Amino acid sequence: MDNEITLSFIAKSENEALARMVMSSFIAAIDPTIEELSEFKTVISEAVTNAIVHGYEEDGTGKIEIHARREDREIVVSIVDYGRGIRDVNQAREPLFTTKPDEERSGMGFTIMESFSDDVEIYSIPNRGTTVTITKRFVPIQETSRIV
Amino acid sequence: MHHEVEKVGDEIIIIRLKGELDHHSTQEIRDEIVPMIKNGTIKVLVWNLKDLNFMDSSGIGLILGRMRELAPIDGQTIIVNPSETMRKIFQFAGLSPYICSDSEIDIMSKLGGIVYGQ
Ligand SMILES: Nc1ncnc2c1ncn2[C@@H]1O[C@H](COP(=O)(O)OP(=O)(O)O)[C@@H](O)[C@H]1O
Ligand SMILES: [Mg+2]
């Protein structure tokens, strides 16, 4: 029943949709609710976009890796970049905090990741990179209505 | 799928977003709408999300950015048909008050009264 994948791609914005698509397929075996699936996709999108926009400033060459593991109904996903890193992780987590207000980033990325998952861990070293590890537990099948 | 931007009279723009709204796709929409607002007569932006399948915080940035441009002329922002997940995202960002549960047609007839009826 359990599964594990690794996905690697370059820091290009068109890969945001690709990452969401691959991760949606990865959790299909869990048979998530529509809500769970769309929240999970949002979490992936936020973390991958951060790696592209902040980690690599969209340089189109930096490598991003996604490591995903499924154990029963729990998914653990790490989004890894080797970019600029985050100097103050606690500040980065604050709602509305952004270092790119001029590019219309809203500073809501980490708030959304935390609200739509069960755990968000950030491990970052300035000028070395950032790893964001997200854990999301999906409700047992019989408790909710399913996608038909 | 491609989004649809419709100008109604001189003062209203309806933006019907389609497909997925992320950091990648916001750029194109922004480039289309910003010049329309900059020309000065626009007072109301209606964001219809009925055919939008996905939105992340890039959508918040896009909508807030346009609200800022409309602020000097006291412009209005109306969001219709967000999904359950989008509703939550708007709530985190303090945008819930701009969500309207009326249909686009009802909104347009009410706006007709506001915009043209003074
Ligand atoms: N992968 C990353 N590499 C470098 N900095 C990051 C990364 N992810 C997040 N950050 C920093 O954390 C801040 C907050 O991120 P977030 O909550 O997603 O807001 P936003 O992306 O809208 O700025 C960013 O503005 C950026 O400074
Ligand atoms: Mg972000």
For position B52, which CATH number holds? 3.30.750.24
Tell me whether residue B48 is in a domain. Answer: yes
**Is the shortest distance between the CB of A100 and ligand 1 below 6 Å?**
yes
Contacts of B34-38 spanning 24+ positions with Cβ under 8 A: B34/B66, B34/B69, B36/B5, B36/B7, B37/B13, B37/B66, B37/B69, B37/B70, B38/B69
Mean pLDDT (chain B) is 91
A23-27, A116-120, B38-42, B80-84: which range is least confident on average? Answer: B38-42
Tell me whether residue B39 is in a domain. Answer: yes
Tell me whether residue A108 is in a domain. Answer: yes
pTM, rounded to two decimals: 0.94
- Domain containing A74: what range? 3-137
Question: Does A105 lie at the interface with B, CB-CB under 8 angstroms?
Answer: yes
- Domain containing B28: what range? 2-111
Average pLDDT per 10 consecutive residues for chain A, totaling 148 residues: 93 97 97 97 98 95 97 97 98 96 93 98 98 96 60
Chain A residues lying within 8 Å of B26, measured CB to CB: 104
Give the pLDDT of residue A115. Answer: 98
Tell me whether residue B49 is in a domain. Answer: yes
Tell me whether residue A148 is in a domain. Answer: no
* B13 beta partners: B7, B45
CATH of the domain at A30: 3.30.565.10
> pLDDT band for position B30 (50/70/90)?
very high
φ, ψ (nearest 5 deg) of residue B21: -110, 105
Tell me whether residue A143 is in a domain. Answer: no
The number of domains in chain A is: 1
Ligand 1: distance of its center to the CA of A104 in Å? 12
The answer on pLDDT for B118 being more than 50 is: no
> pLDDT band for position B38 (50/70/90)?
confident
- Indicate the top mutation candidate among A54, A102, A114 to test ligand 1's pocket, ranked by most ligand atoms within 8 A of CB: A54
CA of B9: how far to CAs of A139, B5, B42, in Å? 49, 13, 9
Tell me whether residue B56 is in a domain. Answer: yes
Give the pLDDT of residue B108. Answer: 87
Question: Does B88 lie at the interface with A, CB-CB under 8 angstroms?
Answer: yes
Tell me whether residue A101 is in a domain. Answer: yes
Question: Does B54 lie at the interface with A, CB-CB under 8 angstroms?
Answer: yes
The answer on pLDDT for B117 being more than 60 is: no
- Cross-chain CB nearest to B93 (options A13, A42, A106): A106
Residue A46 falls in the annotated catalytic set:
yes
Tell me whether residue A71 is in a domain. Answer: yes
Tell me whether residue A146 is in a domain. Answer: no
Those residues whose C-beta lies under 8 Å from the C-beta of residue B24, and which sit 6 or more positions away, are A13, A14, A16, A17
Tell me whether residue B116 is in a domain. Answer: no
> Would strands B4-8 and B12-21 be described as parallel, antiparallel, or unpaired?
antiparallel
Chain A residues lying within 8 Å of B83, measured CB to CB: 38
Give the pLDDT of residue A141. Answer: 78
The number of domains in chain B is: 1
Burial letters for A86-117: b for 16+ Cβ neighbours within 10 Å, e otherwise? beeeeebbebebbeeeebbbbbbbbbbbbbbb
Tell me whether residue A116 is in a domain. Answer: yes
